[in-house]
Amino acid sequence: MSPLADTAALFADRTRAAFCQALLDGRAWTAGELARHAGVSASTASEQLSRLVAGGLLAEERQGRHRYVRLAGPEAAALTEALAAYDPGLPRPGSLRASVRQDAEARARTCYDHLAGRLGVALADAMTARGLVDTGSGIAVTPAGRAWLADALDYRQPAGARRPLVRTCLDRTERRPHLAGVLGAALCGTALERGWVRRVGSGRAVKVTARGSEVFGELLGVEV
């Protein structure tokens, strides 16, 4: 089997796919937490997690008797989100609670370490409109965008950094790109750290705070 087929096979199981999508929140989960999330037994979760780790999609670490797993990196997250975006339509929620969570994630959520949903797409559009990101030939951060990163987010890319400064990520709910890469991660990390957005519950949804609404308007002209 080819490497491509091997990787595709890892997503062909519903339990493994559910694990990968849950881990798009960028945090580390225990095997027990993922088992409860997917509605499977602990032994099934352990077996499927071992396959995902062996396949390079997940990374694990142990603390005492607990086993924590997370997505192996931005590439694994991008692949998971891209495959999810090919879904012809979001499944209809089976409960009011699920419907509320789905609506919240469609408004604003994390996609691994960057912002997604309507908020993420709006921020991407604003950065392009203001000349911080150029999409004329591929996608790149402009000199003005690098200055904005340093001034607004206090971020300067270290020499020799291997991660792309910016790349697009097809948004699963909006079907349009939001921004990932170093720029997307810096914006999301700063927004969480400075309280511009806060996590909602235990899922991927985030909510823009009153302060965040002001800041996004001041920095990028985005009305939230």
**Structural domains of the chain, ranges and CATH numbers in brackets:** 3-72 (1.10.10.10), 93-220 (no CATH)
pLDDT band for position 198 (50/70/90)? very high
Give the sign of the dihedral formed by CA 112, CA 206, CA 84, CA 170.
Answer: negative
What is the reported pLDDT for 8?
A: 86
Residue 208 has pLDDT above 60, yes or no: yes
pLDDT band for position 81 (50/70/90)? confident
Q: Are 115 and 191 in contact (CB under 8 A)?
A: yes
Residue 194 has pLDDT above 90, yes or no: yes
H-type helices in 55-195, by residue range? 74-85, 96-107, 117-129, 143-152, 181-193
Beta-strand relationship, 133-134 and 140-141: antiparallel
For the segment 98-107, the average pLDDT, to the nearest whole number, is: 85
Q: How far apart are CA 55 and CA 53, in angstroms?
A: 5
Lowest mean pLDDT among 74-83, 143-152, 184-193: 74-83
**More confident position, 157 or 119:** 119
The identity of residue 194, as a single letter, is R
